[in-house]
Amino acid sequence: MLVTGTPSVPSVDAALSYVVVKPDRGSGGEGEHGFEIAAYDEHEVRLGDALADPLLWTTLTWGGPRDRLLRSKLERMARVATWVNARLGVIRGDRRKEQHAIVERHYLDVKA
pLDDT digits (tens, 9 = 90+) for 11-54: 889 888 888 887 776 655 666 677 877 888 888 899 999 999 99
> Which strands, in side-by-side order, build the sheet including 2-4?
2-4, 15-19, 42-46
Can you list the alpha helix ranges (DSSP code H) found in 10-55?
47-52
Average pLDDT for 87-103: 71
pLDDT at 36: 78
DSSP letters spanning 53-97? -TTHHHHHHHS-HHHHHHHHHHHHSPPTHHHHTT-----TT-TTS
pTM: 0.53
102 or 92, which is more confident: 102
Residue extents of the structural domains in the chain: 2-78
Lowest mean pLDDT among 10-14, 15-19, 56-60, 102-106: 102-106
